[in-house]
Amino acid sequence: MSRPRGRPHGDSRGRNDGGPRRSGLVLAVSVRHAKVRLDDGEILRCEYSRGLFDPASSFTRPVAAGDRVEVVADRGRTLVDRVLPRRGYLSRLRGRKEQVIVANVDQVVIVAAAAEPRFRPRLIDRLIVAAERARFAPVIVINKIDRVEDRTPLVEKVALYRGLGYAAFVASAVTGEGVDELREVLRGKISAAAGPSGVGKSSLLNAVQPGLVIRTAPISDRWGKGVHTTTGVTLHPLVVGGYYADTPGVRAFAIAGLPAADVAVLFREFQPFIDSCRFNSCTHDHEPECAVQIAVVNGKISFERYESYLKIIRGDDEPAEDGEVDDDDEADADDPDPDADADTPRDGTH
Ligand code: GDP
Ligand code: ZN
């Protein structure tokens, strides 16, 4: 699936220009080190080149999990010397600066449960909108399909999302249904997961690859000597190729308060109609001669999706248990302001 790419934020280069450069992918970061998987497969613990630290930068740190970097050898150490431009990233505000949580995520696997907890289609739509806003491709998985007698309404939901061009399928971590499809979707990409707790995200990912998600994983990392506090996000290599990023993912509250026009462009099926509304400023809510509302009446836009749109623009919030697990709670040695704002999807264009 192709999707728009954010404008790169520019590229940061250190001062070290001697020695052979090798490129790789950052799997995790701590205050002083980055765990880098080089393109030849070697995994190295690297320090940061001094030149990467620019006091004028709008970022709290020069390097994040998911960054493509170049490393150089320097007096027995390996230094991350250059960060390549990011396609997009998730960040949170730390005071006046942005802390990048994870860069270059390709897609977000939005997991819903068919039952237990109850099926919540509005929340799926909110998470799709949040993913679209971050320019991550949404993938919709309706798990626990083994828990329902009549799967027809859920299969219809899947058909609706596929009709919109999204990857979507039903699954069961218990029976194994949909697990091969999920594995194929993850192949070769950097993926994150989203959805309320209890829907089966960990179970599904572990069905794809045993041991991928350790539910009680401590925040401190396990790859270096001693204890190094990471920022909580680690890219886990997938056997099929690609990575699973254990990030808080895309959270629906990232779209709270967006103006209607900004929300409407994230409902892809509204696009052919938006320009035909009578009023330029149409919010597609109550206005007369609204092409979107007419399309709903004519069955060209699903009523359920339209209802999700209305709920978002009216601020009728689903309870905020919509993200993934770990939130703001990790001990973060170099963060002066741990109580700063929540995660915001960024794509480098804002
Ligand atoms: P997470 O919080 O989204 O990671 O959810 P978990 O993977 O921890 O799953 C929550 C509970 O649902 C656990 O008790 C799982 O065993 C159970 N579960 C997960 N997937 C399925 C499924 O497909 N079918 C059924 N019946 N139970 C499941
Ligand atoms: Zn309208």
Pocket test for ligand 1, best of 182, 203, 209, 215 (most atoms within 8 A of CB): 203
- If phi > 0 it is left, if psi is from -120 to 50 it is alpha, else beta; for residue 252 that is alpha
Residues 271 and 207 in one domain: no
Within a domain: residue 241?
yes
Tell whether omega for the bond before 117 is within 30 degrees of 0, i.e. cis.
yes
Report which bound ligand comes closest to the CA of 276.
Answer: 2
Q: Find out whether the beta carbon of 326 lies less than 6 Å from any atom of ligand 1.
A: no
Nearby residues of 48 by Cβ (< 8 Å), 6 or more positions away: 14, 32, 33, 34, 62, 63, 79, 80
Residues 173 and 296 in one domain: no
Residues 82 and 123 in one domain: no
Summarised one tens digit per residue, pLDDT across range 45-92 is 999 999 999 889 999 889 999 999 999 999 999 999 999 999 888 888
Q: Which residues pair with 90 in a beta bridge?
A: 102, 345
Flag whether the pTM goes above 0.85: no
Percentage of the chain exceeding pLDDT 70: 78
Summarised one tens digit per residue, pLDDT across range 225-277 is 334 444 568 999 999 999 999 876 566 667 778 899 999 999 999 999 999 99
Residue 5 CB-density burial (10 A; 0-12 exposed, 13-18 middle, 19+ buried): middle
Centre of ligand 1 to C-alpha 173, Å, is: 7
Q: Among candidates 69, 68, 61, 67, which has minimal Cα distance to 31?
A: 61
Q: Find out whether the beta carbon of 141 lies less than 6 Å from any atom of ligand 1.
A: no
Q: What is the CATH number of the domain that holds 306?
A: 1.10.40.50
Residues 69 and 144 in one domain: no
Residues 81 and 139 in one domain: no
Give the tokens for residue 21: 């450069």
Q: What is the CATH number of the domain that holds 57?
A: 2.40.50.140
Within a domain: residue 272?
yes
Residue nearest to atom 15 of ligand 1 (CA): 200
Of 233, 253, 273, the last residue of a domain is 253
Q: Which atom of ligand 1 is nearest to the CA of 325?
A: 2
Report which bound ligand comes closest to the CA of 202.
Answer: 1
Nearby residues of 259 by Cβ (< 8 Å), 6 or more positions away: none
